[in-house]
Amino acid sequence: MNVLPYGRQSISEQDIAAVVEVLRSDFLTQGPAIGRFESAVNDWCGSRHGVAISNGTAALHLAVKALGVGHGDWVWTSPITFTASANCARYCGARVDFVDVDPGTVNLCPDRLAAKLEIAEKNGTSPKVVIPVHFAGQSCAMDRIHALGQKYGFRIIEDAAHALGGTYLNERVGNCRWSDMVTHSFHPVKIITSGEGGMVTTNDDELASRVALLRTHGITRDPALMEGESHGPWYYQQVELGYNYRMTDIQAALGASQMTRLESFAARRREIASLYDAAVASLPLHALARDPKAVSGWHLYMIRLDLKTIRKTRREVFESLRAQGIGVNVHYIPVHLQPDYARLGFTAGMFPEAEQYYEECITLPMFPAMADEDVERVRRALQAAVD
C-alpha cells in the first residue's frame, strides 16, 4: 500500500540544475548564492534584511541572542510548538515560560498573555522577549501582541517556520511590521526547502548585522567594527563569541530556486485546505478556528476529534488512519510536558488549553503535490476511522 506522507518536499528539474550549477562553481559556501537566497526571501516578505542561517533553530538562537537575552532574563512562547521555539532561550541561559493557547486558533492567546504580563510585572518576572509561533501557518494576533509589547516593553520574535506564504492584515508574514525579527525554517516538510536552512528577516539594520556577525563566530573583517587598529589586509577580529551557523551555497541555491515557486506552493496549499474544510464539515471533527485577519501559509492541516461523540480514542483513530496508509502525525506534544521541561518545574495542568488540544489533535497530510484524489482518500479513511 502506498503511504501518503504528512508532508513532502517538491523538487523540480530547475531546483536540481540550480544545485548542480553551484557544485560546478568556485563557492560551495560563503559565495554568491547566499545573497541571492537572502534577497529572494527578503523581497518576498517585504522586510529590509534577510540573513540566511544553517537551520531554523539556529535562526531562533541568533535572534534571541541578538536581542541581548542572557542569564536572568525571561522568554515566553507557546506550549504548542516545536521545542526549538523554547530551547533557543535556554541556549542563551534565559528562563522559559509559556502562555497558554487560544482554544480556537491554538495560537498564543493575547488575552492570556495580557493577564500573565500584569502578574509578571508585579512579581518582577516580566519577559524580555515573547516568541509568538504562527501555528500551522496562521499568524498569531500580532496587532494585539505588538500593542502589549509597547505597553510592557518586551521585544518580539515571530517564529514563522510554518507561515511563509501567509498574510496578516493583508501584509506578508515575515515583513516584521509587528516584531523585531521573524525567523523562518526551510526543513523539507516546511513551505519551501533548502534541505536544512533558516533565515532571520528584520527591518532593523543593527539587528541584521548582529545576527550576521554571530552567524560567523563573531568574527569581522570590517575595520569599523574592530577595536583598535587593523594590522593589515589579512586582519580579522573576533569581537564577541559567535557560532558557525552558516548556510552552504548548495542549500541557498536550492532555496532560491524554490522561492520562484512559493506563490504556486501557497496557492495549492490553500486549495487543499478548502477541500479538507469541506470534508471536515461532514464528519464529527473540527478544524482550527480561522482568524479573519490572517491568511494561513498552511504548513499543516489539523483536525480535532470530537471525542465525546465518536466513542473512540485519538489513538484508535490515529492507528486506523495509519493502517489505511494515511501518514498522519501529531503536532505537537506540549513542550512543557517534555521530560527536559518537567525537570525545570513544569507539570501537567499548567496550560490546560494546550493539553486539551493535544488530546484531540491529528495532523493530516498536506503538501503541494497532493492530488484532489488524495484528499478524497484521506476523507474516506477518516470516515472509516471515526465510524
In the shown chain, the binding pattern of residues 173 to 212 toward ligand PLP, with x for contact by CB under 6 A and - for none, equals ------------x-x----------x--------------
For ligand PLP, the binding residue among 9, 55, 167, 201 (CB under 6 A) is 55
Binding flag, residue 165, ligand PLP (CB under 6 A): no
Per CB under 6 A, the list member of 47, 77, 81, 324 interacting with ligand PLP is 81
Counting contacts by CB under 6 A, is residue 34 touching ligand PLP? no
Quick one: three-class SS letters along 151-200?
A: HHCCEEEEECCCCCCCEECCEECCCCCCCCEEEEECCCCCCCCCCCCEEE
Q: Partners of 219 in the beta sheet? A: 238
- Which CB atom, from 184 or from 379, has the smaller least distance to ligand PLP? 184
Min separation Cβ 368 and ligand PLP, Å? 17
Task: Kindly state whether residue 296 participates in binding ligand PLP, applying the rule CB under 6 A.
Answer: no
For position 82 contacting ligand PLP by CB under 6 A, the verdict is yes
Grid look-up 507561515 returns 163
Residue 158 vs 220, nearer CB to ligand PLP: 158
How many C-beta neighbours within 10 Å does residue 263 have? Answer: 11
Maximum distance among all alpha carbons in the chain? 76
One-letter amino acid at 174 equals G
**Binding of residue 159 to ligand PLP (CB under 6 A):** yes
CB-based contact 117:124 (threshold 8 Å): no
Q: Given the rule CB under 6 A, which of 50-58, 256-264, 265-273, 317-325 is the region that contacts ligand PLP?
A: 50-58
Beta pairing partners, 181: 157, 202
Q: Which residues pair with residue 216 across a beta bridge?
A: 244
The answer to the question of residue 161 lying near ligand PLP (CB under 6 A) is: yes
- The smaller minimum CB distance to ligand PLP, of residues 194 and 203, is found at 194
Are 9 and 188 in contact by the 8 Å Cβ rule? The answer is yes
Work out whether 386 is an interface residue with ligand PLP (CB under 6 A).
Answer: no
**Residue 312, class by beta-carbon neighbours within 10 Å (0-12 exposed, 13-18 middle, 19+ buried)?**
middle
Nearer to ligand PLP, 50 or 56 (CB): 56
Q: Which of 47, 57, 126, 179 binds ligand PLP (CB under 6 A)?
A: 57
The C-alpha cell of 211 is what? 545576527
Residue 190: active-site member = yes
- Angle between helical axes of 32-45 and 249-259 (0-180°, round to 10): 30
The piece of 82-90, 113-121, 172-180, 287-295 that touches ligand PLP (CB under 6 A) is: 82-90
Please name the residues in contact with 120: beta carbons below 8 A apart, sequence gap of 6 or more.
74, 126, 127
Closest residue to ligand PLP using C-beta atoms:
56
Q: Which of 65, 116, 128, 190 is catalytic?
A: 190
Contact footprint for ligand PLP (CB under 6 A) = 55-57, 81-82, 84-85, 133, 159, 161-162, 185, 187, 198
